[in-house]
Amino acid sequence: MRRARETAPGAPREGARVSMGSRSSAVASGAKALSLCAALALVLAACKQEDTARTPDIQSTTASETSAPSPPPASPPNADTALSLVNRFIVAESLGNWWAADSLVAWRYCDWDPATDFLPVTTAIHVRPTRPLGDSALVQVIYEVVGRVWLGDPPIVGPQRTRFAAEGSSDTVIYRVFADSTGRLWMACGDFHQNHVAVSQLQDFVKRFDDSALAAWKAVFPNARR
């Protein structure tokens, strides 16, 4: 829609007759309008200069910046230091020192608790060489397991309340070792728990076996004693 032309109050409409007396007023009004236009031009020029002065505040991306190479990725931890951390974890868990093993794992990055209600009876542990993956080092550990021990479900109470089931298997876990922003090495959290306890650390369980559990234990370890 075409916009109607605006006219100032008292100004003659288009096509209206102008008298000589009103002509001088018109001339004065015109001069006044010219001075207003000049002032407006100065304001616009000042605004333009201000916008130009502000232009450097807006950082533009140049061709040289877009073609700049990205920083190289972080290197994985040294193989020896990664193995050392995993070995510390293995020793702690095999001795039943779960707090020490837990302190080496960055559990704060995981939202779940992989804890189990039993302990795998571990007879041997094999640690494979490390291999790099991005900014991390992967260490594969194989646990030889002959069964599991656990506490009898309530209302079972008393001195003979532990249980054992013979289940020969191997448990393979791949641990990922990485360095945080301070350079400290951590084992990444995952779907595992530090519960692979060595047979030598389970004597308290053996002492509390009932007859069926003790018989199953002796079938695996013939020389075992309560």
In a domain, residue 60? The reply is: no
**Residue 57 confidence (pLDDT):** 35
In a domain, residue 117? The reply is: yes
Q: Who contacts 94 (Cβ-Cβ below 8 Å, separation ≥6)?
A: 122, 125, 196, 197, 198, 201
Residues 122 and 199 grouped into a single domain:
yes
Q: 24 or 154, which is more confident?
A: 154
**Residue 153 confidence (pLDDT):** 74
**Residue 115 confidence (pLDDT):** 73
Residues 125 and 179 grouped into a single domain:
yes
Q: Is residue 46 over pLDDT 80?
A: no
Residues 178 and 137 grouped into a single domain:
yes
**Residue 155 confidence (pLDDT):** 57
Report the SS3 class of residue 104.
coil
In a domain, residue 1? The reply is: no
Which DSSP string corresponds to 124-152?
EEEEPPPEEETTEEEEEEEEEEEEEEEEP
**Residue 152 confidence (pLDDT):** 81
In a domain, residue 7? The reply is: no
Cβ-in-10-Å burial (0-12, 13-18, 19+) of 61 comes to exposed
Q: Is the dihedral of CA 72, 78, 84, 90 positive or negative?
A: positive
Distance CA 223, CA 226 (A): 10
Q: Poorest-confidence range of 2-16, 97-111, 142-156?
A: 2-16
Residues 24 and 134 grouped into a single domain:
no
Structural domain containing residue 33: 20-54
Residues 88 and 28 grouped into a single domain:
no
| pLDDT tens per residue across span 127-177 | 999 999 999 999 999 999 999 999 887 656 567 788 999 999 999 999 999
In a domain, residue 2? The reply is: no
Distance CA 22, CA 193 (A): 100
Final residue of a domain: which of 54, 71, 97? 54
| pLDDT tens per residue across span 172-226 | 999 999 999 999 999 999 878 878 999 999 998 999 998 899 999 999 999 877 6
In a domain, residue 65? The reply is: no
Residues 201 and 167 grouped into a single domain:
yes
Residues 111 and 175 grouped into a single domain:
yes
Residues 111 and 202 grouped into a single domain:
yes
In a domain, residue 62? The reply is: no
Q: What is the CATH number of the domain that holds 147?
A: 3.10.450
Name the pLDDT band for 11 (thresholds 50, 70, 90). Answer: very low
Entry pTM: 0.64
Domain count, the chain: 2
Residues 50 and 83 grouped into a single domain:
no
The average confidence (pLDDT) of the chain is 74
Residues 29 and 88 grouped into a single domain:
no
Residues 27 and 90 grouped into a single domain:
no
**Residue 73 confidence (pLDDT):** 53
Residues 122 and 158 grouped into a single domain:
yes
